[in-house]
Amino acid sequence: MDFSKLSAGAKLALVGGVILLVNMFLPWFSVDLGPLGSDSGNAFDSGFLAWGGSLIAVAGALVLLLKASGRQAVNMGEFKTEQVALILAALGTVLIVIKVITGHSILGLSLDRSIGVFLGVIAGAAVTYGAFMAMKDAGLEMPGMGGGGSGSGGGDTGM
């Protein structure tokens, strides 16, 4: 694999994906039980929004890696590889953000957010932005979301 073939966006997405993979094993939530001690849980202990969001975003980075390796271009209907990567990365990041917002509780005890949950958002955003940059470098746009020209809707101002 020649990493020089990767665009800057794809490289950013891959770095973010590797960070997300490692981050899944870091503490995402913790609880201090005073004299009884403390405990923490990683992404796998924190539910689907944590581990599923991370893996979905990592899949976005892997799609770019597959294309760059020359082995497989992942296309889904009218969506090209870079667009698929952006969709996966954005979906995964949104799931992680929802996990940050909703938090985590066990037996009615609300747990504190730890470094992993915040690093997950940052790494997910890096994968998403990297996939977006890769899509732009490939000269692509999301179908139905661009190319409207000057923005004049043809409407009358009523004067």
pLDDT of the chain, 159 residues: tens digit per residue: 667 778 899 999 999 999 999 999 999 998 877 788 788 889 999 899 999 999 999 999 999 988 887 776 777 788 888 999 999 999 999 999 999 998 887 767 678 888 999 999 999 999 999 999 999 998 888 776 665 544 444 444 444
Burial (0-12, 13-18, 19+ Cβ within 10 Å), 136: middle
Task: Check residue 147 and give its pLDDT.
Answer: 56
Is residue 68 within 8 Å of residue 5, measured between CB atoms? yes
Taking the complete model, does pTM exceed 0.85, yes or no?
no
